Amino acid sequence: MRKIIVLSLFMLFSVLLFAQPTLDLGIRAGINNSKVTFSKSQYNSESITKAHFGAYGRFGFGRVYLQPEVYFSAKGGEVFAADSEVKERLEQFDYSNVDIPLLLGVKVFNGESSNIHLIGGPVFSLMTDKSLKEQSVFLKDNLKDNSIGFQYGVGFDIWRIFLEARMEHGLNNLYASPNEEGNGKNRTFMLTLGFRIF
Residue at 13 is within a domain: no
Residue at 58 is within a domain: yes
Residue at 2 is within a domain: no
Residue at 119 is within a domain: yes
Q: pLDDT of 97-138, one tens digit each?
A: 999 999 999 999 888 888 999 999 999 999 999 999 888 888
Residue 29 CA to its chain's centroid (Å): 13
Residue at 6 is within a domain: no
Label residues 142-168 b or e (16+ Cβ within 10 Å = b): bbbeebebebebebebeeeebebebeb
Residue at 9 is within a domain: no
CATH number of the domain residue 191 falls in: 2.40.160.20
Domain residue limits at 39: 20-196
| Number of domains composing the chain | 1
Return all residues near 107 (Cβ < 8 A) that are at least 6 apart: 62, 63, 64, 65, 115, 116, 117
Residue at 128 is within a domain: yes
Judged by DSSP in three states, 68 sits in strand
Return the H-helix or E-strand segment holding 5. Answer: helix 2-18
More confident residue, 100 or 16: 100
Q: pLDDT of 21-74, one tens digit each?
A: 889 999 999 999 999 998 877 888 999 999 999 999 999 888 899 999 999 999
Q: Which of 196, 195, 102, 193 is closest to 151 using CA atoms?
A: 102
Flag whether pLDDT at 79 surpasses 70.
yes
Flag whether pLDDT at 95 surpasses 80.
yes
> Residues of the chain with pLDDT > 70: what percent?
88
Residue 33 to residue 31: CA distance in whole angstroms: 7
pLDDT category of residue 169 using cuts at 50, 70 and 90: very high
Residue at 14 is within a domain: no
Across 39-183, where does the E strand assignment appear?
A: 43-46, 48-61, 64-81, 89-110, 114-132, 146-158, 161-170
